[in-house]
Amino acid sequence: MTSVLLVRLSAMGDLVHGLGVVRALHRARPDWRISIVTQSTFAPLLEGLEGLSRVVTFRRRGGLGEIRRLRADLRSDTYDVALDLQGNWKSAGIAWLSGARERIGAGAAWRQEPRSRWLLHRTIEIAGERHPARVAFSLARVLVPELPFLVPQLVATAAELENERAAVRSMGVDVERPFRVIVVTDPSDPRALRPAVVAAQAAQRSPQDLPTLLVLGPAESAVSVPPEARVLRHGRGEVRRLVALGALVANVGGEVLGPDQGATHVLAAAGASCRVVFGAQDFRCTAPPAATVLVHPSPPSCSPCRQRRCTHAAGPVCMDFAPPDGRVACRSLAEDLAGHPPPP
């Protein structure tokens, strides 16, 4: 039996984008043992993931003691191959700590920290845009050349679905009929939907006359929202609620409107139909594989800039639009990421 370790510590969306590779490897090689190392904050997302044998967690600010604990945890198992899906010193170092017989990662041009490749046995040059799903499948195809592309598929339990159904119902939304979710994040981040856009979207009826629900995470506890809006707040440590909410939206044929940030990516990976608004980011590098991508109909010359801090004199004007004004730049990256149409 071959044992494969995948190393992807962060960010939440990037981790989720590459999870289809676990299901694909499992279906192609059902006798293989597949494990993942990721940050402890994101580990709950992996519960119930098809084909995943083990999750090894890493505390980001755990210091030297955490490194020792992680090494002991990794060395309690034996790995034939470690795939560095992230491409920096930390991920390559963890691949090295694992004691895997072979350590493989992306080539220098694809790595966040090119010299970190020195900790690997070999690197692979990858063609195309730097999307996390592309690097995950490119590296996995070193092991299984015929590996088909599959989108990520997060799974909620029956109890989680029932709890989230009750929470949504308490907002006055009929959970047996389609509804719309708008993802609200901290407006200080240039990727976030602009407050005026959120207010306008919350106030107006959707084209399908769907009831609208705003969802905010723990980082948005101080973010103000329109007083008349239906607001669902998820607390710290409740990332699994996003999986359940995405599944509920998918089950009733609803939709999600959100920015290119982790919460939107999780909702998409749980099966929700998503329209993702892009401004600063390049959608070819970070869009959920099956999502519809919306961009500014007349973007500024600096877009996309891929910066976390906007330097435009008027602020993040690249995000100053909302459906139906946005231009559809892409309806699905899945075919491009697969190199061919994905199987059903």
Mean pLDDT by 10 residues, the chain (344 residues): 96 97 98 98 97 96 94 97 98 98 97 97 94 97 96 98 98 96 95 92 75 95 90 96 98 97 98 95 94 92 86 90 85 82 40
Is the domain of 128 the same as that of 226? no
Structure tokens, 29: 């090689």
318 with 254, same domain?
A: yes
255: in domain: yes
Domain that holds residue 174: 158-338
- Does residue 274 share a domain with residue 202? yes
Q: What is the DSSP string of 239-268?
A: THHHHHHHHHHHHTT-EEEEESSHHHHHHH
Give the number of C-alpha atoms closer than 13 A to the C-alpha of residue 223, restricted to the C-beta side. Answer: 25
191 and 259 inside one domain: yes
Q: Which two tokens stand for residue 317?
A: 């004007």
For residues 30 and 11, give the distance between their C-alpha atoms in angstroms, rounded to a whole number: 28
Q: Does residue 151 belong to any structural domain of this protein?
A: no
What pLDDT is attached to residue 205?
65
pLDDT of residue 342: 41
- 318 inside domain: yes
Residues present in the chain in total: 344
Residue 317 covered by a domain: yes
What is the pLDDT, as a whole number, of residue 294? Answer: 95
Residues 136 and 193 in one domain: no
For residue 325, what pLDDT is reported? 83
| 302 within some domain | yes
> Residue 169 carries which side chain, given as an amino acid letter?
R
- Do 69 and 184 belong together in one domain? no
Diameter of the chain by CA atoms? 58
- Strands (DSSP E) contained in the chain are 3-7, 33-39, 54-58, 81-84, 102-106, 122-124, 180-184, 212-216, 231-233, 255-259, 274-278, 292-295, 327-330
The enclosing domain of 106 has a CATH number of 3.40.50.2000
86 and 48 assigned to the same domain? yes
Positive or negative: CA dihedral 47, 52, 53, 59: negative
Q: Residue 218's domain is classified under what CATH number? A: 3.40.50
Cα radius of gyration (the chain): 20
Residue 169's pLDDT is 98
Residues 96 and 181 in one domain: no
Q: How many domains does the chain have?
A: 2
Torsion of CA 227, 228, 229, 235, to 10 degrees: 40
Same domain, 163 and 198: yes
Return d(Cα 94, Cα 103) in angstroms, integer: 10
pTM value? Answer: 0.95
**For residues 9 and 41, what is the distance between their CA atoms, to the nearest angstrom?**
10
Domain end point (choices 143, 174, 202): 143
Note whether residue 152 is domain-resident. Answer: no
**How much is the pLDDT for 303?**
87
